[in-house]
Amino acid sequence: MTIQWFPGHMAKARREVSEKIKYVDIVFELIDARLPLSSRNPMMDQIVQQKPRLILLNKGDLADREQNQKWQQYFQEKGYHTLIINAQQNKGVNKIVLEAKKALKEKIDRERSKGVKPRAIRAMCIGIPNVGKSTLMNRLVGKKIAQTGNKPGVTKGQQWLRSGTDLELLDTPGILWPKFEDQEIGKKLALTGAIKDQLLHLDDLAIYGLTFFSHFYPERLVERYKLTQEQTFLPGAELLMLISEKRGFRDDYDRASEMIIQEIRSSKLGPYTLDRWEELGVTENEN
């Protein structure tokens, strides 16, 4: 299963981000807590360069809590200010401005010493599709200004949004990168909904998801699909056929695959993290 998705509006957005980065004080990089590395666009490092950055691990409630703490520590050790948030439920959002001020403390102190009157922090929010940027923007602004949707590619333009007196936000569309060198990253993004389902082979994706859960969270499969512990060790394709039969889909593996994918995305199988902190050494060497 080869996965690629780089619509024209993403190429345009990338150019606009490069042009407008000079107007902001700090970058809010929104990533999916379920895949803290795979949901980071490697092109953004070239664009953002030395701008202060606040990494926001969104959808933290959908991710493995222990993994969340490990990844937050990882980013902090890299020198980034980091928060775990849930924009949908407005958890942790009220800490963002304070954390941004911490990240910009030297700049703010320097300007204050020169007698420069304090102004609102100007921030740019970047991230891949369907990571929750528009929802976060609406939470910060306090009303529905940014368009939202539980599908990738909803936001296609850039807009400035005002958040009280302390923050001005430049929203941007979700931007993927032109080519996934590692197709494993493509599968992870697809499983969490960052890529349009119409571009995917859902049976392959369901098998990928089932194989992951059988390895890291087999007890979830036992509970959700009424399997035995031994059955969780079956190859992914056999698991798909077994669950299809148990759910009454018979040989309709497309319907069964769609059901499994949606149940994974909606946390019917519980919180999970696809990028495993314990595999970090392997991941970093491969990238």
| 197-245 per-position pLDDT tens digit | 776 789 999 999 999 999 999 999 999 999 999 999 999 999 999 999 9
155: which DSSP letter? -
pLDDT tens for each residue of 8-56: 545 666 677 777 888 899 999 999 999 999 998 877 777 787 899 999 9
- pLDDT on residue 151: 40
Q: What angle do CA 184, 188, 189 make, to 5 degrees?
A: 115
Say if residue 281 carries a ligand binding annotation: no
Terminal C-alpha separation, the chain: 20
Structure tokens at 231: 């059955």
Structure tokens at 41: 């666009």
Say if residue 78 carries a ligand binding annotation: no
The CATH number corresponding to 8-171 among 3.40.50.450, 3.20.20.80, 3.40.50.300, 3.20.20.70 equals 3.40.50.300
Say if residue 58 carries a ligand binding annotation: yes
Say if residue 211 carries a ligand binding annotation: no
What is the second-level CATH architecture of the domain 201-286?
Orthogonal Bundle (1.10)
Q: What 3-state class would DSSP assign to 98? A: helix
DSSP 13-80: HHHHHHHHGGG-SEEEEEEETTSTTTTS-THHHHHHTTS-EEEEEE-GGGS-HHHHHHHHHHHHHTT-
Fold match, 8-171 / 201-286:
no
Say if residue 132 carries a ligand binding annotation: yes
Whole-prediction pTM value? 0.85
Dihedral over Cα of 92, 93, 96, 97: its sign: negative
Domain ranges of the chain: 8-171, 201-286
Structure tokens at 202: 């859902």
Say if residue 134 carries a ligand binding annotation: yes
Are 10 and 16 in contact by the 8 Å Cβ rule? The answer is no
Say if residue 197 carries a ligand binding annotation: no
pLDDT tens for each residue of 131-188: 898 899 889 988 666 544 444 433 444 567 888 889 998 866 556 544 556 778 889 9
Are 62 and 87 in contact by the 8 Å Cβ rule? The answer is no
Say if residue 130 carries a ligand binding annotation: yes
* Single-letter amino acid, residue 51: K
Q: Which residue has the tokens 């149940």?
A: 263
Say if residue 117 carries a ligand binding annotation: no
Say if residue 90 carries a ligand binding annotation: no
Say if residue 41 carries a ligand binding annotation: no
